[in-house]
A and B are shown apart, each in its own frame.
Chain A
Amino acid sequence: MSCENNPALLTAYVDGELDLVRSLEIEKHLESCQACARIVQNQQTLSSALRAGSLYYHPPRHLEQRIHTALRSPGRINWPILAVAASLLVAGIFFAFRPAAPSSLVAQLVAQEVLDSHLRSLLPGHLADVQSSDRHTVKPWFAGKLDFSPPVADFAAEGFPLTGGRIDSVNGRTVAVLVYQRHQHVINAYVWPSPGSTNSRVNRATLQGYNILHWTHAGLEWWLASDLNTQELEDLANRLIQ
């Protein structure tokens, strides 16, 4: 190994994350390179200090009791949809997600957040921050509120009129929500950038009786939530993809 002082490689060596061959290479190199040996030594010292135990935060005693109470009495939690958790547990969660990236747990968590947001949006006055069927009104409204420009299209002629848009928070980031309507059904379309992602097929899930679709296309991650039937929802998905 030449001395490139590659800190990432030395870090992996300290953590025992290198394969045997590379690990031996580094060991040999350390015999002759004082600078690298010093880096390794310092990292080991730092590791010991971090692991010494004083940095670990221990939960206060009341936390376990608080959580047990919360788990047992959903009515007292200010998370409105927890009330349905009991029925959800009985019904089980049906997931049609392929075991695709990044992990099905993350997909489940996002799906639940999307549904939570969808249910919140149905409360009076929460559906849209900008109400308009004109994409030339909706699209500029997003400017300055997001770090990306969401594609905004109206499909009124195809039976999916755009009724507005809003900003929401999903998956730890600010996302654009396009609100569509199909007869009396509200459809929330969530979109945010997903750099480096490959195009996926449209995944389906049913959560608490609501249909949820998910796909990535052209570097964007899309989620649809609605009580509309899957077939018509997929119709909208295909229009959004094109």
Chain B
Amino acid sequence: MSLQPVYGFETQVVPHMGAAYNLARWLTRNDHDAEDVVQEAYLRAFRFWESFRGADPRAWLLTIVRNTCFTWLQQNRKPTIELPEDMPDLKTADTNPEALLLASVDAERLRQAVEQLPLEFREAIVLRELEGFSYKEISSITSVPIGTVMSRLARARTRLQRALQGGVA
């Protein structure tokens, strides 16, 4: 089987391997798992490419990566302690938050804080901040309403800020 007959896959889907890997890596939190997921996602994408009618192959590919990740995580669930998404935050609206200074944000601590977010929050942050998707695009990729995207992002950011300021990375 050659890639040649499938017009456009090589030029429109393969170049987004970086985005695919980044998302898979953040969702699985492991290098090897991310590689396996990306490979499987590309095999799936290849099978579905002929039916692609959308405008944005990157969003299309990431929908498949995400779906593959969730199935993968379901099948290879490791016992990890993760806060459920609907657990109430301590206090979402801090009336007098201290200023967060960019200079004081330690990259490694930020990485750890994102890594410890619940899966759905982590996914929203990666799609928004690292991939720059709009709420509408994130809503389509993750199959949740726009309002849910918005609240996930808000709560994820509140948690990240607290982790950066509170010293509990």
Contact = CB atoms under 8 A, between A and B. Distances in A.
Given A74-B1, A172-B70, A7 B97 contact: no
Contact of A70 (B18, B25, B43, B50): B43
B17 A42 contact: no
A10 B93 CA distance: 11
A125 B128 CA distance: 45
A201 interface: no
B21 A59 contact: yes
B116 interface: no
A45 B101 contact: yes
B67 A109 contact: yes
Nearest to B25: A57
B42 A17 contact: no
Nearest to B35: A63
A99 to B, nearest CB: 10
Contact of B93 (A5, A92, A93, A112): A5
A17 B134 contact: yes
Contacts of B110: 49-50, 55
A15 B153 contact: yes
Given A71-B43, A82-B43, A85-B1, A171 B71 contact: yes
A38 B99 contact: yes
Nearest to A14: B157
How many interface residues does chain B have, given as a range? 35 or more
Contact of A105 (B18, B63, B97, B158): B63
B150 A8 contact: yes
Given A72-B1, A112-B44, A35 B96 contact: yes
Chain A binding surface SS class: helix
B12 interface: no
B21 A57 contact: yes
A82 to B, nearest CB: 6
B18 A10 contact: no
B17 A173 contact: no
A11 interface: yes
B18 A58 contact: yes
B155 interface: yes
Contacts of A32: none
B42 A71 contact: yes
Interface in A81-111: 82, 85-86, 88-89, 92-93, 95, 102-103, 105-106, 108-109
Interface string A44-59: 0111111110111111
Given A56-B22, A67-B17, A106 B130 contact: no
Contacts of B100: 41-42, 45-46
A64 B17 contact: yes
Interface string B19-45: 011100110000100110011101110
7 tightest CB-CB pairs across the interface, nearest first?
A: A172-B70, A5-B93, A59-B21, A57-B25, A11-B154, A50-B129, A102-B143
Given A70-B42, A89-B5, 5 more contacts: A72-B1, A73-B1, A105-B63, A109-B44, A170-B71
11 contacts: A35-B97, A39-B94, A46-B105, A48-B102, A49-B105, A51-B130, A56-B130, A67-B38, A70-B39, A79-B43, A103-B63
Interface of A: 4-8, 10-12, 15, 17, 35, 38-39, 41-43, 45-52, 54-60, 63-64, 66-68, 70-74, 77, 79, 82, 85-86, 88-89, 92-93, 95, 102-103, 105-106, 108-109, 112-113, 169-174
